A and B are shown apart, each in its own frame.
Chain A
Amino acid sequence: MRGTRAVADVRHLPRTVFGNRSLMWWGTMGYIMIEGTTLFICAVTYFYLSRNFATWPPQHIYRPGLVIPTIQVGVMLLSIIPMRWVDRATRRMDLATVRTGLLICSALILAMCVLRFYEFRALQVRWDTSAYGSAAWAVVFSHTTLLVLEAAETLTITALIFGDQVEERDLSGVSDNALYWYFLTGVWVPLYIAVFLSPYFM
């Protein structure tokens, strides 16, 4: 090994950084890209299969109900506000706000999970009825797996953040979770349009 000479010292550098300065932010971003691609594929499949039918939904199948799904979209979009609030509070190390905000968000995501159950019913078609049913279920189901995982993650984080030894790094984790939350709720808007609204136009 060669000899070394020091040209700089990094001991003063911070340990907790937020946003795209943090490794976890990039890891979350990678995960978002993978899941975003997967949801995109489901939507592509949905529209690809629609070409095989004269009408969409096919004959003798009801169009999906709109009430619950529309409420769901509303809840998801509204939930961005408290999550954004939490996100900002993490950067100020404002633990009290983070705790309150996370409680609200936990309640909201549980509500989303319940609403999702009724959304499946609102599809008014079974997955094995025809390719239409399969495609519609694929889109909603794929998003649901992400929703459930995010619910588990958010509840875990909330539990952690109410512990007595909260570290700076945990707050950075909350902020990265917020990034994923924006993706999860935001991506539902085009998917909602595809599965619930587009049958009214196609």
Chain B
Amino acid sequence: MSAAAAPVPQPPPAYEDQERVRRELEQTWAQPPGLWHWLRSVDHKSIAKRYIVTAFIFFVLAGLEAATMRAQLARPENTVLGPDAYNQFFTMHGLTMMFLFAVPIMEAMGLYFVPLMIGARNVAFPRLNAYGYWVYLCGGIFLYLMFFMNTGPDVGWFGYVPLSGPEFSPGKRADVYAQAITFTEIASLVGSVELIVTIFKNRAPGMTLNRMPLFVWAMLVQAFMILFAMPWVATATQFLAMDRLMATHFFNPAEGGDALLWQHLFWFFGHPEVYIIFIPALGFVSSIIGTFTRRPVFGYPVMVLSMIATGFLGFGLWVHHMFATGLPQLGESFFTGASMMIAIPSGIQIFCWIATIWSGRPRFTVPFLFVLGFVVLFIIGGFTGVMIASVPFDQQVHDSYFIVAHFHYVLIGGAVFPLFGAFYYWFPKVTGRMLSERLGRWNFWLFFIGMNVTFFPMHQLGFEGMPRRVYTYLPETGWGDLNLLATIGAVTIATSMLIFVINVVRSYRVGLPAGDDPWGGETLEWATTSPPPHYNFEYPPVVESRSPLWDTTGEMPVVTGLRTDVRDTLVTTLLDAEPDSKHRHPNPSIWPLLSAIATTILFVTLIFTPWGAVIGTPLFLLALLGWGWPRGRDKREQQLVESEA
């Protein structure tokens, strides 16, 4: 232990009083029942659970949209959806999956488990965390309300100008697109700052960077990617909104604006976005493989470096989404090289996992099955990814169904399969009950088969000339059979999802009790109860190795000396995680919600009139003032702790 801590470890004060300590912590960190308290909650676990449940609901909605589209495409010249509806459906599907499901749920997994894995009591800025969730929720509700009022965006999740510009998208649909993205950007940026600061400053004593679980590394890399990628799309959509509402000319070729500028800005975000979704999944996979082979993942330093390399390279590939726009060939070759290079760190990680399984003792649980499915599907998506990094080949299949197949293999195979594995793996920790393994196997196999039946034929459809985003096709194109097959696959996936939902609902009520550590896990979240108490750990744990629960047998080493009558947390140093200062976390507050509502008023009114800024900005500033102004319990407690010295 560090020199900063007391030289002579004292026994915890009144160790026999553990009951009293627990009672006081319960009281200090309590979240009493009732709607009012629920709205005020700043517990990272409550917030993250809401995030996960909300994101899953959006996942189901986007899935239903996809199913409707598959019904429309099941045969040529079908009439389930007209072009106007279909275009809103595919736009909503993309927007929802990317902005309301994938990024938020990945961040939410981090917001739930990172503090537990690093032995912290909460995230670094609990109120900001709540604000992020409320903004996200408001944005999602706003988008779907507009969709139900037939004002859903119909310009694609990529919103290319000039189609989304003032001339070709009159009405409010494209404004809804731009503003909905702004909401989710704010939420994800907030989440990324939370994760970075929490990981940097709230790690358990002794958890040096070198001992951080791979999952935490994955969330750290993802958070940094969000920090540098999201502002691009946020700025681009602001430019678009201004072009539409204030007659600026960023994207108007007639006045010196540039249609390709949008594509550069969008894809400079859009490509890293894929890795923002995928990198947390690498963290899930490493956690699951470690636990179910009962050995630490092979090649820890290489795994960490690969994730960091992926994070950097992810920013160098955006132009490969623009190979058909006729850019100079030399530049294109550079992006081909970069796009192929990113396969190397991914390959290395797969090899390391195989090596881990090889030398470990695999246990065939459902989470492990999902990981095996991930490897198979992700390799397929990875290979087609390397292929479309080739400019000539991409100029054939670009914007065809081949691409639809490719990125669903990458995103479903690469991110959703690990996510489901993670659901099965961590459900016991979150709820205290196990999910049914039997239903889980049905879930897995139907998903795996359905996924391949849906998306594998799409490679061929792309070759046969079927472009993306078409609401129908003519019988003589000959695309009917494979499309029907894909629709059958979609039904299979839907069935597997239904089984999952049944499994969750049933297990939540009558599942087997899990105990603290049902799988024999390696990392700190398994050291506390299931579900964890509001304060996570009675005493901050001390970490002595990368696998604290495996290497430290017997009693857990902990530090003492944090107050139990205020929400005290420990702040440690960045590199070595030595105890450095104590920090009092804020108490529950309604202001994050009020601030989010003010933000929503500002954004939504802005769509209809520039005066929205005049109405919304003062409201927002007022809410911030209310948030920051010290008063009540917070003020009393602050005086209490300041008088310590």
Contact = CB atoms under 8 A, between A and B. Distances in A.
Q: Do A's and B's CB atoms come within 8 Å in the complex?
A: yes
Contacts of A49: 250, 256-258, 261
A92 interface: no
Contact of B261 (A42, A45, A167): A45
A41 B235 CA distance: 7
Contacts of B583: 15, 23
Interface stretch (B63-71, B192-200, B294-302, B444-452): B192-200
A3 B555 contact: yes
A48 B258 CA distance: 9
Interface stretch (B241-249, B329-337, B410-418): B241-249
A7 B560 CA distance: 8
Q: Which one of A4, A31, A34, A45 has the highest number of Cβ atoms from chain B below 10 Å of its Cβ?
A: A4
B433 to A, nearest CB: 18
Nearest to B235: A41
Contacts of B249: 128, 130-131, 133-134
B256 A53 contact: yes
A138 interface: yes
A9 B10 contact: yes
Contact of A6 (B9, B124, B257): B9
A2 B527 contact: yes
Given A127-B246, A128-B247, A33 B582 contact: no
Contacts of A3: 554-556
Given A27-B125, A45-B261, A13 B580 contact: yes
Interface in A106-128: 127-128
Interface in A157-202: 160, 165, 167-169
A104 to B, nearest CB: 22
Given A21-B571, A131-B257, A167-B638, A4 B197 contact: no
A17 interface: yes
Interface string B521-554: 0000001110000000011111000000000001
A22 B556 CA distance: 28
Contacts of B625: 156
Contacts of A45: 235, 239, 250, 261, 265
Nearest to B558: A4
B638 A1 contact: no
B250 A8 contact: no
Given A5-B558, A8-B9, A131-B255, A31 B193 contact: yes
Interface in B618-645: 621, 624-625, 628, 630, 638-639, 641-642, 644
A26 B642 CA distance: 22
B178 to A, nearest CB: 15
Contact of B252 (A33, A131, A132, A168): A131
Contacts of A27: 124-125, 128, 193, 197
Contacts of A20: 574
Interface stretch (B226-234, B400-408, B476-484): B226-234
A34 to B, nearest CB: 6
B584 interface: yes
A7 B239 contact: no
A60 interface: no
Nearest to B252: A131
B248 A10 contact: no
A38 B231 contact: yes
B239 A30 contact: no
A71 interface: no
Interface of B: 1-2, 4-6, 9-12, 15, 124-125, 128, 189, 192-193, 196-197, 200-201, 205, 227-228, 230-232, 234-235, 239, 242-243, 246-250, 252, 255-258, 261, 264-265, 516, 527-529, 538-542, 554-562, 570-571, 573-574, 579-584, 621, 624-625, 628, 630, 638-639, 641-642, 644
17 contacts: A2-B556, A5-B557, A6-B15, A6-B557, A6-B558, A8-B2, A8-B205, A9-B559, A13-B579, A14-B581, A14-B582, A15-B641, A27-B197, A30-B193, A45-B265, A156-B628, A169-B642
Interface of A: 1-17, 20-23, 26-27, 30-31, 33-34, 37-38, 41-42, 45, 48-49, 52-53, 58, 127-128, 130-135, 137-138, 152, 156, 160, 165, 167-169
A-B interface, 10 closest residue pairs, ranked by CB to CB distance from nearest:
A11-B561, A30-B193, A131-B256, A8-B5, A134-B248, A128-B247, A10-B561, A37-B231, A9-B561, A131-B257
Given A11-B560, A34-B189, 7 more contacts: A2-B527, A2-B556, A8-B9, A38-B231, A41-B265, A48-B261, A138-B248
